[in-house]
Structure 1
Amino acid sequence: MTQKINLENNLRLMVALDLTEMDPILLQYVNFLCEVWNIEHLYFTHNIKQYKLYDLYDEFLEEGITLEDIVDRGLQKTIDKYYTASVPNTVLITTDDYTESILSHLAKEYKIDIMVVGNKDELQGTGALNQKLVRMLDANVLLVPEEAKHEMNNVLVPTDFSSASARCFAVAGSLVERSEGKIEGLHVYNIPSFFFPYINSEKAIDKTKNHLKDKVKQFRKKYKISENIPFKYIDREGYSVVEAIELHAEKTDADIVVVSARGGSNITSLFVGSVTNDLLIRNRKMPLLVIR
């Protein structure tokens, strides 16, 4: 079972580097995390696809140099330049055709609490690897975008009132413990437009909000969520749930969004909740922390 994130824990973070322009962004964000979290050890890792080695081995071996040596030097040069925190670190270089599989193996072997990966927009990459990682890893996953702010003052927790999403509030409390930041719960609802010709839209919205107030009250009581955490419920108004979450996050200047890997169905750890799955492939301005 994944260890709960808490600042009293000595966290182990693994940072997936890929020798692109995303690496300096990740390393500088990790410097920030070392200030606000209690991190015991960092593991900087890079996986070389095996099929890329075959055409290059002969060329490098003639000079007595392996591709692993070159990758190691390149990584170490970037780490030396951009990693400035004092937390001990280890560089791990692997060769495997399936990056998500080897990262999952390493996360288990080194008992990683959080896997830190890049969420790329203009830079190289897609969200496919991130989706696979969240599906396969026992660890929590932190996706860091190019524009991530180095702040932890405003944490947004979208919720469907499930037990899985309730765990995110405890995690959010740990995230803002040192910064004394604030947490906001968010529920996105929708009233089907085909009801409006038959019922008064204002009454429908009022009834929905009153129902959600009761729902929040029950949610707080059942999962012992602090009364000091405000809840916002918004009509998605033609947007998808994910779009509504992101628009609200940008509007409220959220520093990080915390979601559960699983939704309300909670069938199996192999299935990622649909909202979380869609968030994984979106380009956001704020980091996304996915909780197992």
Structure 2
Amino acid sequence: MTKNINLDNELNIMVALDLTRMDPILLQYVSYLTTVWKVNHLYFTHNIKQSKLYNLYEDFLKDDITVEDIVERELERSVKENYKGNAAHTVVITSDNYTESILGHMAKEYDIDLVVLGNKDEFQGTGALPQKLVRMLNTHLLLVPEDARHRFQKVLVPIDFSSNSAKAFSAARSLVHSDKGEIQALHVYNIPSFYFPYIDTRKAHDKTHSHLHARFNQYKKKYRLSDDVEFKNIDREDLSVVEVIEREAEKGEFDIILMTARGGNNITSLFIGSITNDLLLVNRTMPLLVVK
């Protein structure tokens, strides 16, 4: 059963650290998040993959110290230097060869609402970890890049007009309400090129724009979206849906992309598994929040 997470409530947040240069970035970003949301507790976690460290170093350690001791001391030092938030926190060290499994276990144990990962950290690698976590976890997932800005003045929400994608707007509102920011809904469509020799291209685009704006007005009314939510639709032409989303996010200088984990059907080109996975793989300059 899907957990109903309201970002306006008190939140338990788990932050995956990896002892790389991403850790200070994540800790500083999470410090900012504690000024935006009401955070009940933060869990700073690191999983030691046994196959990586134990076989190499355990025989060289003194009898009174373990790999876990070393990692915990380094994490405690990094947290002390970089975390300036006002929420209570706990450092949790685990040892398991399957990071996604142990994170999933801890998410249930600590009743986690949001998991935060670095967009370029060692945990992510080829992107397999965030992809697995989106499927496994009953929590929101936030990917934070190195260049993330500490603000939520502009939020981009890709939509497919489904009830699932409507869930993203309550989360978006929780981000911008304090900063009185801008929320823009984005729908990416495509008119197949083989129609162009037989139709008036300008009329086709004008009619499509008009139809989509009318559809968005109905969508906004049905799901009780705020009147100040802006709407934009773009023909992807020869680009992929992901490329259009990323281009629009960069061009509009948005602070975060916010989307739901899945769409409403198997026909739409947005929010099917491949689109979600591709967005999780992109190294972008703004965070990506995937809402469950």
Q: TM-score, normalised by structure 1?
A: 0.93
Aligned partners of 1:230 and 1:121: how far apart in 2? 33
Instruction: Name the aligned partner's letter for residue 75 of structure 1.
Output: L
State, as a whole percentage, how many aligned pairs show the same letter: 58
SS of equivalent to 2:197: coil
| Structure 2: stretches of 5+ with no match in the other structure | none
| Structure 2 residue 50 is the aligned partner of structure 1 residue 50 | yes
| Structure 2 residue 60 is the aligned partner of structure 1 residue 59 | yes
Residues 158 and 187 in structure 2, CA contact (< 8 A), matched pair in contact too: yes
> What residue is the counterpart of 2:167 in the other structure?
167
Aligned pair in 2 of structure 1 residues 147, 121: CA closer, same or farther (>3 Å)?
A: farther
Aligned partners of 1:42 and 1:191: how far apart in 2? 46
> What residue is the counterpart of 2:200 in the other structure?
200
Instruction: Name the aligned partner's letter for residue 282 of structure 1.
Output: V
Q: How many residues in Structure 1 have an aligned counterpart in Structure 2? A: 286
SS of equivalent to 1:196: helix
Instruction: Name the aligned partner's letter for residue 100 of structure 1.
Output: E
Q: C-alpha deviations, 1:15-40, integer Å up to 9, x for none?
A: 00001111011011011111111111
Aligned partners of 1:107 and 1:272: how far apart in 2? 25
Aligned partners of 1:163 and 1:106: how far apart in 2? 29
User: C-alpha displacement at 1:170, in angstroms?
Assistant: 1.1
Q: C-alpha deviations, 1:113-152, integer Å up to 9, x for none?
A: 1000000189983311111111111111000011100011
SS of equivalent to 1:147: coil
Instruction: Name the aligned partner's letter for residue 218 of structure 1.
Output: Q
Q: TM-score, normalised by structure 2?
A: 0.93
Residues 5 and 139 in structure 2, CA contact (< 8 A), matched pair in contact too: no
Instruction: Name the aligned partner's letter for residue 57 of structure 1.
Output: E
User: C-alpha displacement at 1:272, in angstroms?
Assistant: 6.5
Within-5 A mapping of 1:187-266: 187-265=187-265
Instruction: Name the aligned partner's letter for residue 2 of structure 1.
Output: K
Residues 120 and 126 in structure 1, CA contact (< 8 A), matched pair in contact too: no
> What residue is the counterpart of 1:88 in the other structure?
88
> What residue is the counterpart of 1:11 in the other structure?
11
Aligned partners of 2:89 and 2:123: how far apart in 1? 26
SS of equivalent to 1:54: helix
Instruction: Name the aligned partner's letter for residue 3 of structure 2.
Output: T
Q: C-alpha deviations, 1:63-103, integer Å up to 9, x for none?
A: 42100000001111111111111211000000111000100
Aligned pair in 2 of structure 1 residues 118, 220: CA closer, same or farther (>3 Å)?
A: same
Instruction: Name the aligned partner's letter for residue 3 of structure 1.
Output: N
User: C-alpha displacement at 1:167, in angstroms?
Assistant: 0.3
Aligned pair in 2 of structure 1 residues 133, 202: CA closer, same or farther (>3 Å)?
A: same
> What residue is the counterpart of 2:151 in the other structure?
151
Aligned partners of 1:237 and 1:253: how far apart in 2? 22
> What residue is the counterpart of 1:110 in the other structure?
110
Residues 121 and 283 in structure 1, CA contact (< 8 A), matched pair in contact too: no
User: C-alpha displacement at 1:241, in angstroms?
Assistant: 0.4
> What residue is the counterpart of 2:3 in the other structure?
2
> What residue is the counterpart of 1:101 in the other structure?
101
Aligned pair in 2 of structure 1 residues 148, 122: CA closer, same or farther (>3 Å)?
A: farther
SS of equivalent to 1:197: helix
Q: CA RMSD in A?
A: 1.8
Aligned partners of 1:209 and 1:131: how far apart in 2? 33
Aligned partners of 1:88 and 1:196: how far apart in 2? 59
Aligned partners of 1:173 and 1:85: how far apart in 2? 22
Aligned pair in 2 of structure 1 residues 123, 282: CA closer, same or farther (>3 Å)?
A: same
Within-5 A mapping of 1:18-57: 18-52=18-52, 53-57=54-58
> After alignment, is 47-56 or 63-72 more displaced?
47-56
Aligned partners of 1:112 and 1:124: how far apart in 2? 20
> After alignment, is 47-56 or 9-18 more displaced?
47-56
Residues 263 and 273 in structure 1, CA contact (< 8 A), matched pair in contact too: no
Aligned pair in 2 of structure 1 residues 272, 56: CA closer, same or farther (>3 Å)?
A: farther
Aligned pair in 2 of structure 1 residues 122, 235: CA closer, same or farther (>3 Å)?
A: farther
Q: C-alpha deviations, 1:227-259, integer Å up to 9, x for none?
A: 221111011121100000011011111101110
Aligned partners of 1:27 and 1:256: how far apart in 2? 17
Aligned partners of 1:22 and 1:276: how far apart in 2? 23
